[in-house]
Amino acid sequence: MMLAKINPTETGGRRFEFPRDTFAFANELHWEYHFDAAAGKTTFSKRNPKPTYAHRCFVLTRAARQFFYHARFDADQKLASDEIYRQLIREITSRISCR
């Protein structure tokens, strides 16, 4: 799947959706987050046992916001090399995390 750069206005004004727009890797945060779609609420609790390698909420939140505003994943694109993905990720994460 290719990561495509976009213009921030291409989000179409849609709101960030937590289940849809978060990252797809093992949750190694210090906190566990639980989203209740029916109630529209998120709850959290401390992770037990503590993770051996933890991602900080601020870093992940900022990165998710940057990807939401500045990138799209296009399943129709061919896979790129690791170096191209690194370059795209560096470009996206170097942007200001607002529109």
Report yes or no on 39 lying in a domain: yes
Report yes or no on 76 lying in a domain: yes
pLDDT of residue 55: 65
- How far apart are alpha carbons 67 and 44 in whole angstroms? 24
Question: What distance lies between CA 70 and its chain's CA centroid?
Answer: 11
Report yes or no on 98 lying in a domain: no
Report yes or no on 17 lying in a domain: no
Whether 98 has a pLDDT exceeding 90, the answer reads: no
| Average pLDDT of the residues in 14-32 | 78
Report yes or no on 18 lying in a domain: no
Report yes or no on 43 lying in a domain: yes
pLDDT digits (tens, 9 = 90+) for 24-80: 776 677 888 888 889 989 999 998 888 876 666 777 788 888 888 888 888 888 899
pLDDT of residue 81: 93
Name the domain count of the chain. 1
Domain of 57, in residue numbers: 2-8+27-93
Question: What distance lies between CA 20 and its chain's CA centroid?
Answer: 9
Report yes or no on 14 lying in a domain: no
